[in-house]
Homo-oligomer: A and B are copies of this chain.
């Protein structure tokens, strides 16, 4: 029996995550830490509170992730220029280089995978995936609202 489209989409996410975890095996980096570095690369120096929002985890969790990344030399904590309660977290130069390289490889993988698709199917594929991602986002947001309303 053919797998459902949804099953294939989930398989893709799973394969990607496993592959990334394996790529960083031995470097001390994990999925959660790489995600934080990724967010930092796109957002620039940020407070831990902002990182917590962007990663959708608790502030306490960010403390732990930043502790680990600081120890491994990937990020630095610097004082916030105007708010003495806050710290700014930023990539170290070497981590910034690593992340730029990772972004390049990410774009390359995107191109490789797209090249595996018949040219005549590519435009429809892009449209279809955009529609599905958008629709799923709506569904999840509605489910979250329902849950919040029930909880209150």
Binary CB contact string for chain A from 83 to 121 against chain B (1 if under 8 A, 0 otherwise): 000000000000000000000001101101110111011
Given A143-B19, A143-B22, does the pair A132, B120 have CB atoms closer than 8 Å?
no
Name the one of B17, B110, B113, B131 contacting A117, with C-beta atoms under 8 angstroms.
B131
Q: Is A32 an interface residue (CB 8 A)?
A: no
Chain B residues in 8 Å Cβ range of A126: 5
Name the one of B12, B56, B129 contacting A133, with C-beta atoms under 8 angstroms.
B12
A residues touching B (Cβ–Cβ < 8 Å)? 4-19, 22-23, 25, 56, 106-107, 109-110, 112-114, 116-118, 120-122, 124-137, 139-140, 143-144, 147
